């Protein structure tokens, strides 16, 4: 299979999103690559079978190992993230499992940020522990101080920035530098920023994970993940994905590829609306604190300004104390903000953050008063009106 023709000039990320992973003139000029529904792949003759058959890493030899549709998505994701290679898997969670198990074995030690996505934390505490990997959770604000936690058997430092639900920004280059002096692999869950607003490979990350379920596909209708790597880290990740039989259906890959084409315009709108709502909420009497690194007063703002190119539409808020019935009235009084897990689609969402018992290093204050908001692509004035109506319900039950 030929990869798409490389561009002669180096393009900027928004341009790369539109071009990577497609080669129209290999497909009679059709702008988008065709979708291959294929399990069995036929070999031309015995010579073809003997030469290509055993090479399962990057060739089209069996559906589970990837079709031209898989490789088109992977090529586009690698270009988008600014890495060298990418491996597509069936969900963000699978991407985390493949990335971690690629670099860890029994007897190894893993350093994981305390604010990692809940199911990522449980994967370390349960599944990896069962296979003899020990995990220590570290303070998201530790920075270069991570050096003191690195043991002789520490193999991986796992980051997620900003943190899930609590939005602490990590000093990624500082942590990566300390990890590399001890030969640890640096894995980052880059889902919040998407490939556009944090460039992982420019900040010392070795392996970048995207839950492409979120902004990459962008329409709340696909489960998809990608693990993007440098050239050196690619082979072990590819082999691990194959060992686990991790694979993705062609239509989901196609939707992921299609989502990438519009990521830049969507994300800029998510950013604009998210910041506008965050600023408005910060001034509301019902709100104690907004958790958004793009706000000037946020503890992560300086690092965010230094390292990020923008903000997505996902942020948090802590409400002032009120009876739980008042919070329920607020949520039930919203019309445009749906309640549902996941985010990154075109629609606005809100959920209680459920942070009780979700942190090892420092328990989160006010776990019952913390909420997560996803600013969708609706008119932001309508979103603000909706929250205002919700607050009227809250006040009516506040007593
Ligand atoms: C949603 C999410 C995941 C998991 O992705 P799925 O596609 O739902 O499996 C991983 N990391 C982060 C930060 C997420 O928000």
Helix (H) or strand (E) holding 259: helix 250-282
- Average pLDDT of the residues of the chain: 96
The number of angstroms, rounded, from the C-alpha of 189 to the middle of its chain's C-alpha atoms is: 5
Of the candidates 337, 311, 215, the one whose C-alpha atom is nearest the C-alpha of residue 266 is 215
When pLDDT is averaged across residues 325-342 and rounded to a whole number, the result is 97
Active-site annotation holder among 85, 114, 117, 199: 117
> What region, left, alpha or beta, does residue 252 occupy, with left being phi > 0 and alpha being psi -120 to 50 degrees?
alpha
Task: Check residue 135 and give its pLDDT.
Answer: 98
CA of 193 to the centre of ligand 1 (A): 13
Task: Check residue 6 and give its pLDDT.
Answer: 64
C-alpha dist (Å) from residue 97 to 94, 128, 237: 5, 9, 10
pLDDT at residue 311 above 60? Answer: yes
CA of 210 to the centre of ligand 1 (A): 8
The CA distance from 398 to 98, in Å, is: 47
Helices (H) and strands (E) in the chain, counts: 13, 11
- 131-172 residue pLDDT tens: 999 999 999 999 999 999 999 999 999 999 999 999 999 999
Atom of ligand 1 nearest to the CA of 191: 13
More confident residue, 211 or 56: 211
Q: Whose CA is nearest to atom 10 of ligand 1?
A: 92
Q: Active site includes 189? A: yes
- 220-247 residue pLDDT tens: 999 999 999 999 899 999 999 999 999 9
pLDDT at residue 2 above 60? Answer: no
Task: Check residue 3 and give its pLDDT.
Answer: 54
Q: Return the best residue to mutate from 211, 224, 316 for the ligand 1 pocket (most ligand atoms within 8 A of CB).
A: 211
Q: How confident is the model at residue 57 (pLDDT cuts 50, 70, 90)?
A: confident
Does ligand 1 come within 6 angstroms of the Cβ of 191?
A: yes
Of the candidates 322, 341, 304, 299, the one whose C-alpha atom is nearest the C-alpha of residue 211 is 341
Pairing of strands 314-319, 287-291: antiparallel
Q: Active site includes 261? A: no
Crossing angle of the two packed helices 231-244 and 92-103, in degrees rounded to 10: 110
Local structure of residue 220 (DSSP, 8 states): S
Strand partners, 29: none
Does ligand 1 come within 6 angstroms of the Cβ of 163?
A: no
Contacting residues for 279 by C-beta, under 8 A, at least 6 apart: 295
Q: Whose CA is nearest to atom 3 of ligand 1?
A: 92
To the nearest 10°, report the CA torsion of 241, 208, 103, 222. Answer: -30
Q: Return the best residue to mutate from 187, 214, 226 for the ligand 1 pocket (most ligand atoms within 8 A of CB).
A: 214
Does ligand 1 come within 6 angstroms of the Cβ of 213?
A: yes
Task: Check residue 384 and give its pLDDT.
Answer: 98
Predicted structure pTM score: 0.97
Does ligand 1 come within 6 angstroms of the Cβ of 161?
A: no
SS3 135: strand
Atom of ligand 1 nearest to the CA of 96: 10
180-189, 263-272, 390-399: segment of lowest average pLDDT? 390-399
- 274-290 residue pLDDT tens: 999 999 999 999 999 99
Atom of ligand 1 nearest to the CA of 94: 9
- 100-132 residue pLDDT tens: 999 999 999 999 999 999 999 999 999 999 999
Q: Active site includes 117? A: yes
Active-site annotation holder among 19, 64, 269, 279: 64
pLDDT at residue 399 above 80? Answer: no
Q: How confident is the model at residue 75 (pLDDT cuts 50, 70, 90)?
A: very high
Q: What residue spans of 11-90 are helical by DSSP H? A: 13-19, 46-52, 68-81
Local structure of residue 321 (DSSP, 8 states): S
Active-site annotation holder among 199, 214, 369, 372: 214
């Amino acid at each position: 299979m030929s990869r798409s023709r490389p561009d002669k000039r180096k393009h900027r990320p928004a341009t790369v999103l539109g071009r990577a992973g497609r080669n129209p003139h290999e497909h009679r000029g059709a702008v988008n690559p065709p979708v291959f529904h294929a399990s069995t792949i036929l070999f031309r003759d015995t010579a073809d079978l003997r030469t290509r058959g055993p090479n399962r890493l990057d060739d089209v030899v069996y559906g589970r190992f990837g079709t031209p549709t898989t490789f088109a998505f992977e090529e586009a994701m690698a270009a988008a993230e600014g890495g060298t290679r990418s491996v597509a898997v069936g969900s963000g969670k699978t991407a985390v499992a493949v990335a971690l198990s690629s670099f860890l074995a029994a007897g190894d030690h893993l350093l994981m940020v305390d604010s990692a996505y809940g199911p990522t934390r449980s994967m370390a505490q349960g599944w990896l522990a069962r296979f003899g990997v020990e995990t220590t959770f570290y303070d998201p604000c530790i920075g270069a101080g991570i050096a003191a936690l690195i043991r002789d058997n520490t193999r991986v430092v796992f980051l997620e920035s900003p943190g899930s639900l609590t939005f602490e920004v990590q000093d990624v280059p500082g942590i990566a530098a300390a990890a590399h002096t001890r030969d640890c692999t640096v894995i980052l869950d880059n889902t919040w920023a998407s490939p556009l607003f944090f460039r992982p490979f420019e900040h010392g990350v070795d392996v970048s994970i995207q839950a492409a379920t979120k902004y990459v596909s962008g329409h709340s209708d696909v489960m998809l993940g990608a693990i993007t790597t440098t050239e050196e880290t690619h082979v072990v990740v590819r082999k691990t994905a194959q060992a686990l039989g991790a694979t993705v259906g062609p239509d989901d890959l196609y939707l992921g590829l299609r989502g990438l084409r519009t990521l830049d315009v969507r994300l800029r709108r998510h950013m604009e609306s998210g910041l506008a709502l965050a600023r408005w909420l910060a001034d509301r009497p019902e709100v104690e604190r907004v958790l958004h690194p793009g706000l000037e007063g946020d503890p992560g703002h300086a690092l965010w300004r230094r390292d990020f190119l923008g903000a997505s539409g996902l942020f948090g808020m802590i409400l002032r104390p009120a009876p739980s019935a008042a919070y329920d009235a607020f949520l039930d009084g919203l019309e445009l903000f749906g309640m549902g897990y996941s985010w990154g689609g075109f629609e606005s969402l809100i959920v209680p953050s459920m942070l009780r018992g979700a942190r090892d290093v420092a328990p989160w204050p006010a776990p019952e008063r913390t909420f997560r908001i996803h600013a969708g692509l609706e008119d932001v004035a309508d979103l603000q009106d909706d929250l205002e109506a919700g607050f009227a319900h809250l006040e009516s039950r506040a007593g």
